[in-house]
Structure 1
């Protein structure tokens, strides 16, 4: 045993040396200006109007850019817009587009590209996932719901370099929104030449960001080169990036430890302590919530008493402490900590307090009130999740709890992410894994998730929609804050979601890589990254 221990320590020492040196792959020297990021899933699309996952957003952040770009403090800074003015009433923004802003094929980026992109995202015929993000625009929601025309939407290119935006109501977070992918420009000629495929192939994906996508081997790898026509190209230090793709946490970690990648997100929990000892494990803050969503139209979860019972038996702390780790914290509400109440200066989550707890006895009583018992057992339940070691482990834990505490018959079903997302959005499930990372730093980005009938839960409440409409339109910060607390309480009164934990972003990075940063909104920005 003693000799075995010496041998193991010897192997660990060799591994540490290899990780620190980290400059070869299969005998090949990695150029000092190339970075390899192990992407956690195959993008379904890189259409900024339609993409819906963080990996897609991270790719888009490399190849596109909006009017603003978030800095390492998550504050918006001038990007495609070199400057802007805001009217005294906070409703009208006038952006000046840079004279040297170009697409990767050399054509100029114009104000018309932004007007086209935003109206396209709102066009009901396009059915864009991110249309709701542009409801802040005057008549944005009305156009998307066929109650107004495109000409009535509050975005207008006055000339090639002047974009005037009119909001439906003052929105202090609007500049941050313009850094979000739904607000990226797209070219009409590119989109309309191949409406269904332009954002699924490297040769038709023309961007305006710091990098160009030059190869997309689906489900295998993405390759980028520096976009020399980018307005701020002087600050882009990398010449190329190679992104292998794998949904497996273990595979992505093997790529890093084997020298085929430099950085990856969400390493397996079992490896985190070892990686910390090697100095490779890091944790970035994140504004997000990992949760289960009930399909409120699918039995037995069409009954709110059942939904609440299934939520009450989950011991979130045990799941976080024994399965999740990575600095995450148990979630007893939907809006995560880290968001400031503008009216009071306090943390919104701390003010709102817990909205669900752990109470097995109450859960069993609720099931009885719902009519379930020895003479009427619960129908079988299936948990849907996308393929991933962590999602599987959590699903197995929840399965065991529901079977042991509630006597339910629970099956698990995992699907490849693209299929999973489609089925969840279409309501083809009973209960499914979900997560939400804020699109901007305001509680509204979480509460809007359930504010229309198109949400994954198939939830539609006229009262909730009316409440959120008031949130959108009030200019009184104190009233707005109170309304948002009421809205969050309402989705728990209706037991639409089962929160599990508030997120962080654990990642592994080799010490030869620097200059990147993780946004608390979940994306990683490689614009300033470099290899030492």
Structure 2
């Protein structure tokens, strides 16, 4: 999902990032759900001991926790549609473009590109010295193979919608077209031509997303499971996957074949998988982690420390209504629940860490063509108003003929912060609506499937922008979108999003996006709770970690004294 999509993820706690798209987890893009996942951590101190010996030997080793401490879903760039997968991948692989130190889309594997006058054809010129970790040259066919793999209906990639800007991509992915009709062509080994369905001014930003990373087509053709283990993984980024003890740890090592290896200062990166904020904080205190999130209960005493990094992060924590289940087929009842929530209290007393309450869906930081912040232009679209909430609830119940509401269950994925927010919402609904809501938690994979299959009545979500444009979040709710997960369908809304992607007059395009967000708030198929930010503790001597407001964290320039 796209400014755009880390560490709020890291801090995410609720999302790490993301509040995170596109999309949102939803872990990514996506949705991005940092804290919408859980895995058992490892016992502290065990894995770290060997690596600490490496430190003593003079190697620079950075110790991190993977997202909120979970196993990557997949290192196939088309499949691991979540922060836990894409953040490590962003350091193991590289696309045509890469976010630079100013968080702008700059050269990656492509050292330069040409754009046709009509804005439809991009010709990328790949670096002669771009190589895979096994020594193979990175060629244009690797991108053709990877992108068509993502779009292949049999791959069932949750990220495929990100490529719909390309001519023929949506048709192929939906089964109405063929792979040969997708506008991606290897002109020669080092020249890639991409033809778009319509001009897309932010296309270079889209290409920074890990879904568009290349795949060594020769390796993948010989072994379709190339991405599943360290000894078969082949990447083209700053680091190689040296070892992978599933659900326990990953160790990255500097990639000597990387075209810009001289810029990489770290020798190794050690990723733990500790899914408990207090445990990872204790590991930070003991020196077993160089970066850690702040446990919410310790925010007041730690947030102003000199070793705290605070920055913006494009994403949103929100709750989805299933409009196909009673009582949430009624708009006024959905609105009532939204107006019953005191977001400021949730931000200040529950999540803490300097997060901002969300009174709209698009997070701050997206600049309109007139130089204003989109959030400021569209203003507050929902507020805390218990009197209005009660009025709307009564009106909605009368419309449906309810003497009392059907039983309501709020479901969230396992995680300490997710639980705390859900319990707070439960109390607010009792206090402000006199409605009792049952809470249920589920392990992430079970939760994600149930939400996607519209089996949950009312459920937590997070979105982390996949690229730097507001349409990334808004497109999640078009009819039949993988990211929709609400049952909502509106031809009017779909048309607004289509125009928000294809309109060539930028001011007019952003006006379509403004109207789409307002419509989303009026329909209230989802309740915004708070925007993500990045808040992490960073050990002395650590520097150079790039944490983009929209995008995945980058260790290419990281250093450790």
TM-score of the superposition, structure 2-length normalised? 0.86
Q: Which has the higher contact order (CA 8 A, sep 6+)?
A: 2
3-state SS in 2 of match to 1:203: coil
Match for residue 521 of structure 1? 550
Match for residue 188 of structure 1? 217
1:234 aligns with 2:257: no
Distance 2:522 2:261 in 1: 51
Does structure 2 retain, via aligned residues, the 8 Å contact 1:385–1:433? yes
Over aligned residues, Cα RMSD in angstroms?
Answer: 2.1
Distance 1:222 1:507 in 2: 20
Distance 1:46 1:375 in 2: 49
Cα distance change, pair 449–32 in 1 and its aligned pair in 2 (3 A): same
Q: Mean Cα displacement is larger for which, 183-192 or 499-508?
A: 183-192
1:402 aligns with 2:429: yes
Does structure 2 retain, via aligned residues, the 8 Å contact 1:72–1:518? no
1:353 deviates by 1.0
Distance 2:164 2:220 in 1: 22
Distance 2:350 2:434 in 1: 23
**CA deviation profile, 1:189-225 (whole Å, cap 9, x unmatched):** 4444554x44332223211111111222222111111
**CA deviation profile, 1:433-471 (whole Å, cap 9, x unmatched):** 211121122111111111231322232222211221122
> Please, which of 212, 222, 225 is the counterpart of residue 253 of structure 2?
225
1:382 deviates by 2.0
Does structure 1 retain, via aligned residues, the 8 Å contact 2:78–2:211? yes
3-state SS in 2 of match to 1:200: coil
1:26 deviates by 10
Q: Mean Cα displacement is larger for which, 64-73 or 249-258?
A: 249-258
Alignment of 1:69-468 (within 5 A): 69-195=98-224, 197-264=225-292, 266-276=293-303, 278-342=305-369, 344-371=370-397, 376-453=403-480, 454=482, 455-468=484-497
**CA deviation profile, 1:225-252 (whole Å, cap 9, x unmatched):** 1111111111111111111002211122
Q: Mean Cα displacement is larger for which, 71-80 or 291-300?
A: 291-300
Does structure 1 retain, via aligned residues, the 8 Å contact 2:229–2:244? yes
1:52 aligns with 2:78: no
Q: Mean Cα displacement is larger for which, 413-422 or 30-39?
A: 413-422
3-state SS in 1 of match to 2:161: helix
Distance 2:226 2:83 in 1: 20
1:35 deviates by 0.8
Distance 1:193 1:326 in 2: 48
Does structure 2 retain, via aligned residues, the 8 Å contact 1:32–1:531? no
Cα distance change, pair 149–170 in 1 and its aligned pair in 2 (3 A): same
Q: Which runs of 5+ in 2 are unaligned?
A: 1-47
Does structure 1 retain, via aligned residues, the 8 Å contact 2:413–2:441? yes
Does structure 2 retain, via aligned residues, the 8 Å contact 1:25–1:260? no
Cα distance change, pair 375–166 in 1 and its aligned pair in 2 (3 A): closer
Q: Which runs of 5+ in 1 are unaligned?
A: 1-22
> Please, which of 538, 541, 554 is the counterpart of residue 509 of structure 1?
538
1:280 deviates by 2.5
Does structure 2 retain, via aligned residues, the 8 Å contact 1:219–1:246? no
**CA deviation profile, 1:35-61 (whole Å, cap 9, x unmatched):** 110112221112211222222221111
Does structure 1 retain, via aligned residues, the 8 Å contact 2:209–2:551? no
1:313 deviates by 0.2
For the pair shown, the structure with the greater C-alpha radius of gyration is 1
3-state SS in 2 of match to 1:517: coil
1:367 deviates by 2.0
1:287 deviates by 1.3
1:277 deviates by 5.8
**CA deviation profile, 1:96-144 (whole Å, cap 9, x unmatched):** 1111111111111110110111122112221111111111111222222
1:484 aligns with 2:513: yes
Aligned residues: 507
Does structure 2 retain, via aligned residues, the 8 Å contact 1:249–1:388? no
1:263 deviates by 0.8
Does structure 2 retain, via aligned residues, the 8 Å contact 1:38–1:255? no
Distance 1:440 1:256 in 2: 31
1:530 deviates by 1.5
1:375 deviates by 6.5
Distance 2:366 2:489 in 1: 26
Q: Mean Cα displacement is larger for which, 226-235 or 50-59?
A: 50-59
Cα distance change, pair 495–193 in 1 and its aligned pair in 2 (3 A): farther
Does structure 1 retain, via aligned residues, the 8 Å contact 2:208–2:467? no
Does structure 2 retain, via aligned residues, the 8 Å contact 1:94–1:165? yes
3-state SS in 1 of match to 2:231: helix
Distance 1:238 1:205 in 2: 20
3-state SS in 2 of match to 1:490: helix
Cα distance change, pair 165–508 in 1 and its aligned pair in 2 (3 A): same
Does structure 2 retain, via aligned residues, the 8 Å contact 1:268–1:389? no
3-state SS in 2 of match to 1:346: coil
